[in-house]
Amino acid sequence: MAEDLRKSWSWQDGERLLVNTGTLRLDLFRLLASIFASQRFYAFGYDHELMRLYVQFADSEAHRQLVDLAVSVRLLLERAAKRGWFHSSSRHCGVLLPKHDDDSRHSPLEFREACNKIIHAEVVRFDVDDSENPTERRPTVYLYGRKSKVMWKATLDLVQFARHVEHLVTLTEHHDSAV
């Protein structure tokens, strides 16, 4: 085995971050499209072959897209914070319960923290209109995880999250074109 020493790369190549913003936007679109198309799939009925296709792939694809988005966004946020042109602390996209069973201690879910919660979630659930017999998904995601043995819960507003992602990507592309 030999390491190729001719060219190396890092997550940050000079001034440009190696995150494909086109792919990031496409994943964002696909995630939102799968959520908003759910009502049409559910209308087919559970025995329909297209609904079986939706059931087979919807959850795993949405989860993969969420994690991919969160990781890419975190990379973009790190760069933006170093350069001082994007502040995620003023951007909220849900609610955080540091102790999932204590509703009184909720706080706004900041954009950067939303990415962390997506990455570290042990359980991911999508909001539906009826938990027993759903007919549509809604653009809300419930994330559950553990921090120092304490269970937390985050409720993510996907539309607000998507708006922040799109704003960050637009700013990134603008700053990259100016370099």
Kindly list the averaged pLDDT for each block of 10 residues, start to end, along the chain of length 179: 61 60 94 93 92 90 95 91 77 89 83 96 94 90 93 96 95 76
Q: What element of type H or E holds 147?
A: strand 137-147
CB-based contacts of 157-163 (< 8 A; 24+ apart in sequence): 157/93, 157/94, 158/31, 158/32, 158/35, 159/32, 160/92, 160/93, 160/94, 161/93, 161/94, 161/111, 161/114, 162/28, 162/31, 162/32
Q: Give the model's pLDDT for residue 10.
A: 47
Please state the domain extents for the chain. Answer: 20-178
Closest of 156, 141, 157, 144 to residue 99, by C-alpha: 144
Q: Give the model's pLDDT for residue 178.
A: 62
The 10 Å Cβ neighbour count of residue 58 is 18
Q: 3-class DSSP state for residue 100?
A: coil
CB 156 within 8 A of CB 140: yes
> What's this model's pTM, rounded to 2 decimal places?
0.85
CB 135 within 8 A of CB 47: no
Q: Give the model's pLDDT for residue 4.
A: 67
Q: Give the model's pLDDT for residue 8.
A: 47
Q: Give the model's pLDDT for residue 139.
A: 95
Q: Give the model's pLDDT for residue 16.
A: 54
Give 69-90 as a DSSP string.
HHHHHHHHHHHHHHHTS--GGG
Q: Give the model's pLDDT for residue 163.
A: 96
